[in-house]
Structure 1
């Protein structure tokens, strides 16, 4: 009978995350045999806040469970309602801490209580489980602490054995031979180690034991931070400043694997050993500088290649290569802040190269050099440094005030240049904007004075159309030119806000509420009811735009210029408003989940990833998406209260 129960438990677990990562039937059956089946009548408590961690976590087999936070006044506040196949109470696996929430059965429920220790036994053999725990729940407030704990956990020193698979990134080039290691023993003095580094002209030295196993590493950076500053004496033992444990790699590891490890853990040196662990002899050291020599598809190398490109066809191929890089970054859970920085650098350099092509063509046409100072501005997602995929163009041009007599001639020159640039961007793969929000449109190629008048008009006449324009144009960022002109525009906007901030910001706040909760009363996704995307969920409009719109209006209220990125806006707001810091951080985490999901879907389908069919999402993706909606609702509630929007509807 016990075996039959275990088999039924196994049959259920094998198809749901995170258990579906375990492809060994016997291994998962061992977990299933230790599962305790629990019946919870409606209204009964599964666990309460403050209780010590248990030796189990829970999976809902049937029914539903609600999680509540308890306020200082004892009031229960609903955090999450969970259904069949969802996991909760997993804190004991990630942090030895008490339960934070009250868990109660919302209806008659059957739970599987999974033994924590038995589950932990799977982790060394299934790294996907660790990745799931560390990242798949990032958008849910109930897992915020666990997510942070997992993300910040120190590595154990054996990352060389992870079997990464993915597309042809960097042609999966093997490292093969790292630099011969320069080593010392633990009884060496810091001054002796520094001398050996100088003699061999290397930036690191590895501390080894008698068996030549690595136990620590010292780099130039450690010497600067800990010795040059006087924190430690040169005569101190090397063990006082060495970094441990050592992060090791196998001899046959790929360049891509090394790069991802360095990025994820903020490392500049990795140690190569015979078996990829710190329990075998050292064979070499690879540094960040070595990567630049070894690889030709590193982001820095890609940017350099873009700057040297001679044709838009080659630019397009480089952008294709960057998308392969993007795909692996996403699959390997590299932080979104790093990914957006890399892709923004690539997109910006492509834009600058297209402008150079345009300027060269103007010269060839006999038009000469620019007749005035100018800046090319990116708008929308690229302006926010969030454009991961090649969507349509949003750009504008601003040139210095030149006087009435020259204005028409100067504007005509820049319009012609803008036409060439947008044409080149189109050839690279950035579609023309359907709404013609491009610098080649005379409406969006203006002098400093013209742009000031335009923004003043938008801020004075708060029509729906004008609010739509602000959602695009207020995220401007200069990527080429004089560099000073966008700043003049920012100062003008803040001056205008002094006189009309309440009315204008309230209108922006109302626009941010245009898209209500993405879930129906029955917790289904709100989908389009007609048109080309009937029965599809609009990820951009329903989930991402409310967060970007809210961040924009709040950062404008705070008078913080040149903070365009949505993540950084929420980080800045968290610093400015400690009382709302938790909500802002949750909003940033939710936005990270959304932008990652959209990019993954877009790369898979070779489109923008904007519209998705809920039934095509995996269970994990649906969970991530749904959990990201709570910060959307709370941010919108904050706007309603702050700008008294209920009185304006």
Structure 2
């Protein structure tokens, strides 16, 4: 007998798109439509609200059953326009937002209905309060309320949300997915605000995120790794186009910094012209790195090749991903050079099986990002790029490599388990740092762990060491 499908965990539901929880779009009317024509539409099944739409079809007001009871019944004549009874302006939620964002909007605003709008501003569906809030427990809702605030407050509230989910038994990997989703949404919010301040761009563009945000694996304090793909334009427009995007990108990166995403020490940000190009220029850049294969070219490749579109038309990013595949197929030496550089990434185990001391001064803590997560991420990235695997997330890459037979199923299972444990250990350490008033870091006191967990961590690092050495060696020919 087929087992019933388990409901998604709170983190999985909240990380998912609002479109998964929304109902069909309600009826829409011109604001001048008489109520006598509007109200019959609310008598239909499952219709508890209607929208007032402008000439473009975008919502400008909402009329709910409660509005009818409070403002219409025995108060307004049938010929009164919809605009006389509706609530305006109407709060909406973008269709590409995570469900957590809808929860954060519904709760503080005491809203019962939340229209979902597409990129063109038109309503594509409706979220109802009870259905949407069912995705979160009462304790978690308290933390989610803080996610309706300003950017910096949202960033700070991530720790409370993550702690509440971990306390409820949600796996750290799912919690990290939610944290990454919040981080991505913050990028879009800052981008929208920068666009409002600077006006219509001279040419369309796509926002790229890279590094841990691009992989969907960012923890509490990732720095910025972003860029822009600009639509192609004639050379004689360069001064105009570049001047606009230079000011816009400066404001965007400064806004992210204020929201809690530190400026990238390596300058991998849209305000740097190297990371702000047309698609042909990006293609040429990848080709140059493939030919250069040294120094900054390798460092940039490690970060940039985890790119994905975060806002704007995703087609240019998809075209760039396809071109990267062609570049790597024609220049396999680039992957070999990346592997040779990544071979310096070691795991946090001594020759005798103890944990390494990576802490300056008298401490003995181990950096499990540098000496655990990074070797696994780097090795998985190289194999995925070699095999033309499109997903950028490490867990998805491991699964895809196993499906292709590039990694044995047993090893893939061990690596997936190691990845999940490393995320759990690092996330809990960062939450402890946050609670103690310290900046979230990556140094973990392995000696304070209970023996079974310390043993599991040692086994995880051994699996990462074996896999990463084999992966790097398969490109360089080195024997470990």
TM-score class, shorter-chain normalisation, is 0.5 to 0.7
For 1:579 and 1:492, how far apart are their aligned partners in 2?
Answer: 25
After the TM superposition, which residues 160-559 of structure 1 pair with which residues of structure 2 at under 5 Å, given as runs?
289=132, 291=134, 314-363=150-199, 369-501=200-332, 503-528=333-358, 535-559=364-388
CA distance in 2, matches of 1:528, 1:618: 20
In 2, the alpha carbon distance for the partners of 1:354 and 1:322 equals: 17
Larger gyration radius, structure 1 or structure 2: 1
User: Structure 2: how far apart are the matches of 1:381 and 1:292?
Assistant: 26
| CA positional deviation for 1:345 | 2.2
Structure 2 spans left out of the alignment, 5+ residues: 7-44, 47-102, 104-129
CA distance in 2 between partners of 1:485 and 1:300 (Å)? 37
Shift of 1:356: 0.9
Structure whose residues are more often strand by fraction: 1
- Structure-2 separation of matches of 1:439 and 1:575: 36
Residue 498 and residue 617 in structure 1: after superposition, are their counterparts in 2 closer, same or farther (change >3 A)? same
**Cα deviation, residue 589, structure 1:** 1.3
Displacement of 1:299 in angstroms is 11
1:490 CA displacement: 0.9
* Whole-Å separation in 2 of the counterparts to 1:316 and 1:370: 26
For residues 78-101 of structure 1, what are the alpha-carbon distances to aligned partners after superposition, in whole Å with 9 as ceiling and x for unaligned? xxxxxxxxxxxxxxxxxxxxxxxx
How many Å apart are 1:334 and its aligned residue? Answer: 1.3
Distance 1:294 1:579, change over 3 A: closer
From the superposition, tell whether residues 573 and 302 of structure 1 become closer, same or farther in structure 2 (CA, over 3 Å): farther
| Alpha-carbon offset, residue 341 of structure 1 | 3.0
Tell me whether 569-578 or 616-625 shows the greater mean CA deviation: 616-625
| Residue in 1 that maps onto 2:42 | none
Query: Where does residue 580 of structure 1 map in the other structure?
Result: 408
User: What is the number of equivalent residue pairs in this alignment?
Assistant: 356
Q: CA 1:299/1:646 → structure 2, altered by over 3 Å: closer, same or farther? A: farther
Q: Tell me the CA shift for residue 455 of structure 1.
A: 1.3
Query: In the alignment, is residue 624 of structure 1 matched against residue 447 of structure 2?
Result: no
TM-score by length of 1: 0.50
CA change 1:290–1:443 in 2 (3 A) is: closer
Distance apart, 1:569 and its partner CA: 0.6
In the alignment, the residues of structure 2 paired with residue 294 and residue 630 of structure 1 have an alpha-carbon distance, to the nearest angstrom, of 37
> Which of the numbers 621, 624, 636 marks the counterpart of 2:468?
636
The correspondence for 1:569, drawn from 387, 393, 397, is 397
Q: In 1, Cα distance between the equivalents of 2:198 and 2:361?
A: 41
Aligned alpha-carbon RMSD (Å):
3.4
Measure, in 1, the Cα distance between the counterparts of 2:167 and 2:340.
36
Equivalent residues of 1:396, 1:444 under 8 A apart: yes
Cα offset, 1:552, TM superposition: 0.6
2-side partners of 1:570 and 1:523: how far apart?
26
Conserved 8 A contact 1:506-1:643:
yes
**Structure 1 residues 602 and 406: CA distance shift in structure 2, 3 A:** same
The one of the two structures with greater contact order (alpha-carbon pairs below 8 A, sep at least 6) is 2
